[in-house]
Structure 1
Amino acid sequence: MTSTTLGRLGHRWPTLLAIPVVLGSLYGLDDVRGLAFLLVLSPLAYLVPASFNRPGITWPAVLVGAFAVGPLRLSGLNPAYALLVALVVFVVIGTARRAPGFGIQAVAAALFAGLAVIAIEAGSPTVGGLLIAIGLLAHAGWDAYHHRADRVVPRSYAEWCFVVDVILGVAAIVLIF
């Protein structure tokens, strides 16, 4: 590899980091609705920095959320419900702080979280899975917008989340059919 190739790969570290996350999310997945937690965690990663108007806390917030998700998934519980509690906490914090630009993040987080709950509670794994796939692909659009606007979260997070959302959204569709 040339130094130019290595430089390009180094610049794309968020994309490269997304691959193991995707593989870990798909490992042992028997129902696509098991990905519902991402429809709460991903928007939460926008809501937390928006609550404090500090984009720099995005990656630490994602790490905390990821470490919280692991044990819940291993115990057979759907982490989406635990993450909903965190979402409510940060809505309260952001509202109290009157953080600029917070309102749209709170609305988006509530919509994605609502979609996650509807998908989890859907009687049909196919319908629930399709809702998850649609939500992930819609969130990829959210990521693309924020990557381009370079607001709320670091561009590295928006890129990483975009890759995770697109690959898992497409994988969800493939797994359903």
Structure 2
Amino acid sequence: MATSTHAPTQHRTATVPARPPRGPAVTFVLHLGGMAVAMLLGMLLLTPVVTALADAAGWDLSAAGPEAAALVMATTMTLGMAVWMVHRGHGPRSVGEMSAAMVLPFAIGLVPYWAGLVSGADALVVGHVLMLPAMVGVMLLRRAEYTGGHVHGPARTAWGRGVEVVAHRWPTFLALGLTFDSWVSPGIPPAWTLAVLGGEYLVIGAVRREFRRDRLLAAHVAGFVLYLGFAAVAATAPAAVAGPVVAAGWLLHVAWDVALHRAGRVTWRWFAEACIVIDLVLGVTVLLKL
């Protein structure tokens, strides 16, 4: 009886570059666009934090000259871009090169300012104008890296895991950045914002064709009517009553956000997640203002 032997099948898990779903030129542009968006988000989210910390330390950044403004802009944008690049699978060398391409233009822009040739505002403009060509230049030098795909492997370091948390919960961090000023300078939103809160999901659900003639549509219509009532009370009542009504409206809306986020209906999950944070922060800070 013949006996045949077969070599055991070996299963290996290898990390290989992902095939880009689009052409090299489009992939290149998408890489650049992703970094540009990350830069803007970094500046939007982190600049209020830096300003608040400087104020707490007794430093007036607005009076510190263009050097301080350039440092804040370059640092916050670079941090946002670096987090995105690490999430996309770029190594330390690539992140360092791109960071230098973002910081050096501001340093170059300050040289004519120090020489008395341009104003501080013009020096910052020079930095912004030179930044994009510098980034494109680095990408062209590493063309293969920016025209191919990347594999998102499991994070092996604490830094990598932290980056993944930020990337996964970006709606939460975006909402925290947008509402950071509310903690520093709390205020009471206008009464009409309650009407917007009541109607936003009704509009989004209608545009996305999520509603049918069912209880979900009836619930959103009822919610809109309720928030119109909140808005009317807040607009006509004395300040001692209007403030708590506004706070209650924002805090009550958190339950609405959570319900839609869990259900995955009517709105986008990322939008509901961001709204949970925004509504909670504004509701709490209104209570602190009272």
Task: Tell me: CA distance 1:23–1:149, structure 2 relative to 1, closer, same or farther (3 Å).
Answer: same
CA displacement 1:87-141 (0-9 Å, x = unmatched):
xxxxxxx8xxx66532211111121122022112112x12101011111111001
| Map of 1:121 onto structure 2 | 236
Question: Structure 1 stretch 13-22 or stretch 149-158: which is displaced more?
Answer: 13-22
SS in 2 for 1:137: helix
Q: TM-score, normalised by structure 2?
A: 0.41
8 Å Cα contact 2:186/2:288 also seen in 1: no
Amino acid at match of 2:242: G
Aligned residues: 132
How many angstroms does 1:16 deviate by? 1.3
| Map of 1:7 onto structure 2 | 164
Cα distance in 2 between the residues matched to 1:25 and 1:116: 21
Is residue 47 of structure 1 aligned with residue 202 of structure 2?
Answer: yes
8 Å Cα contact 1:120/1:128 also seen in 2: yes
Cα distance in 2 between the residues matched to 1:99 and 1:157: 24
| Map of 1:70 onto structure 2 | none
Identity among equivalent positions (%) equals 32
Task: Tell me: CA distance 1:50–1:18, structure 2 relative to 1, closer, same or farther (3 Å).
Answer: same
Q: Gaps spanning 5+ residues in structure 1: where?
A: 56-93
Is residue 137 of structure 1 aligned with residue 251 of structure 2?
Answer: yes
CA displacement 1:35-55 (0-9 Å, x = unmatched):
434322233220112223446
Is residue 36 of structure 1 aligned with residue 191 of structure 2?
Answer: yes
RMSD (Å), alpha carbons: 2.5
SS in 2 for 1:2: helix
Amino acid at match of 1:144: V
How many angstroms does 1:18 deviate by? 1.1
Q: TM-score, normalised by structure 1?
A: 0.64
8 Å Cα contact 1:144/1:158 also seen in 2: yes
8 Å Cα contact 1:146/1:153 also seen in 2: yes
Higher relative contact order (CA 8 A, sep 6+): 1
Task: Tell me: CA distance 1:25–1:105, structure 2 relative to 1, closer, same or farther (3 Å).
Answer: farther
Could you say which structure has the higher helix fraction?
Answer: 1
Matches within 5 A, 1:77-96: none
Matches within 5 A, 1:148-163: 148-163=262-277
8 Å Cα contact 1:36/1:116 also seen in 2: yes
Q: Gaps spanning 5+ residues in structure 2: where?
A: 1-157
Cα distance in 2 between the residues matched to 1:110 and 1:37: 13
SS in 1 for 2:164: helix
SS in 1 for 2:267: coil
